[in-house]
Amino acid sequence: MPPDLWTLYALMLKSRLFEEAVAKLWHDGLISGEMHLGTGEEAIIAGVVANLREGDAMALDHRGTAALLMRGVDPVLVARELLGYPDGLCGGMGGHMHLFSKEYLAASSGIVGAEGPAAAGFALAAQYLRPGSVAIAFFGDGAMNQGMLMESMNLASVWNLPVFFVCKDDGWAITTKSVEVTGGGLNERAQGLGVATVEVDGRDVSAVWEAAHIAIERARSGQGPTFLHAHCVHFEGHLLGFPMVRIADHPLREMPGIAIPLTLSILRPGGAPLRDRLAGLRTVVASVLSTMRDPRRDSANDPVARVRATLESVPVRLHELEDQSQKEIDHVFASALMEVPS
């Protein structure tokens, strides 16, 4: 069965429009704390979630909103949760990093790598209670260096658990380039633990759907876990207001606050010889420059725009879908914001 691009696009669009609205609320100060969006990874989430059915579970990371929306959780409840309202999805107790839906067996965590043990446990319960069901773990490339995730892959392997490990690789962990802190290859790691692997372009929703379909069917039929390595970008950088993106967007405004203490520090007596100081400076400059040239900032990598381009041959249907999606999201936020609890 080939993927239905229209359905996948609708899922991705819903999530994108929702998160764009969230970004606005965050900038307006209506959402507190940090905010990590999933904008840029929608093709991965949609390609996987579209393969799920009742009884399947999801372990989510700090970018869990997209997966919950696509799975069918009421967007008004999610919006009201992010706004911290008592009738939000989790009573205003969780916020975006701690979203839970018992109904959909979906649990988030802000602890990097915690999705591994969670998915293994959901899969274990599935083996006893819901045979044929699977558990998904969504996590980033940075999480691949977290011990508990590696241990979970081994556990899933030796217990033949129906887990689909989905690594959304954007090449970064906050300001750290993953290649600089990751030995060996990610696929080889998973293979070394006895987990089957597949690598796809995470900007291509059809490719993800097909890879996910095979892996999830394997898991359902008792053939054990698979690791999906999917490449993507995050347009906002790590979180909303990400300092590195701010520097790239407004160098004149942001640089003095960074450059002045840096210069004072490099000139202070005591410390390393000049050679080492310059090496330090090169590291800082390189990381600022690499943000500026960061592929996550290139709209050509936008998975939503990519799938849209393939649907443009049917413009009437496309515009209808988009108008409808926008209306739905507008309605979601209108109702979410309507009654502010006192």
Ligand X SMILES: Cc1ncc(C[n+]2csc(CCOP(=O)(O)OP(=O)(O)O)c2C)c(N)n1
> Which residues contact ligand X by CB under 6 A?
62-63, 110-112, 139-143, 170, 172-174, 238
Q: 30: exposed, middle or buried (C-beta count within 10 Å: 0-12, 13-18, 19+)?
A: middle
Indicate the residue whose CB is closest to ligand X.
140
Strands (E), the chain: 57-60, 100-101, 106-108, 135-140, 163-169, 172-173, 176-177, 196-201, 226-231
Nearer to other proteins, 28 or 54 (CB): 28
Among 281, 311, 318, 337, binds other proteins (CB under 8 A): 281
Residue type at 220 in one-letter notation: R
Residues 214-243 that bind other proteins (CB under 8 A): 239-243
Residue type at 34 in one-letter notation: E
Under the criterion CB under 8 A, does residue 23 sit at the interface with other proteins?
Answer: no
**Least distance between ligand X and beta carbon 225 (Å):** 19
Binding site partner of 57, from ligand X, Mg ion, other proteins, none, Cβ cut-off 5-8 A by kind: none
Under the criterion CB under 5 A, does residue 42 sit at the interface with Mg ion?
Answer: no
In three-state secondary structure terms, 342 is coil
Biggest alpha carbon–alpha carbon distance for the chain: 69
**Least distance between ligand X and beta carbon 120 (Å):** 17
Residues 108-167 that bind other proteins (CB under 8 A): 109-113, 142-143, 145-148
**Rounded-to-integer distance, Cα 320 and Cα 138, Å:** 31
**Least distance between ligand X and beta carbon 174 (Å):** 5
Binding site partner of 55, from Mg ion, other proteins, ligand X, none, Cβ cut-off 5-8 A by kind: none
CA angle 39, 42, 44 (to 5 degrees): 135
**Rounded-to-integer distance, Cα 89 and Cα 75, Å:** 9
Nearer to other proteins, 151 or 322 (CB): 151
Residues 141-180 that bind Mg ion (CB under 5 A): 141-142, 170, 172
What are the Cα distances from residue 184, in Å, to 54, 83, 144, 152?
37, 42, 11, 19
At which residue do the structure tokens 């950088």 appear? 237
Pairing of strands 226-231, 196-201: parallel
Nearer to other proteins, 32 or 223 (CB): 32
**Residue 147, token pair as written in the block:** 């011990």
Q: At what angle do helices 205-220 and 42-49 cross, to 10 degrees?
A: 40
Binding site partner of 54, from ligand X, other proteins, Mg ion, none, Cβ cut-off 5-8 A by kind: none
Among the listed ranges 70-78, 276-284, 310-318, 328-336, the one in contact with other proteins (CB under 8 A) is 276-284
Under the criterion CB under 8 A, does residue 102 sit at the interface with other proteins?
Answer: no
Binding site partner of 272, from Mg ion, ligand X, other proteins, none, Cβ cut-off 5-8 A by kind: other proteins
- Say if residues 15 and 70 touch (Cβ distance below 8 Å): yes
At which residue do the structure tokens 């900038």 appear? 27
Among 213, 277, 297, 308, binds other proteins (CB under 8 A): 277
Binding site partner of 86, from ligand X, other proteins, Mg ion, none, Cβ cut-off 5-8 A by kind: other proteins
- Say if residues 84 and 341 touch (Cβ distance below 8 Å): no
Interacting residues toward other proteins by CB under 8 A = 26-30, 32-35, 84-86, 90, 92-95, 97-98, 109-113, 142-143, 145-148, 173-176, 180-182, 239-243, 246, 258, 261-262, 264-266, 268-273, 275-277, 279-281, 283-284, 287
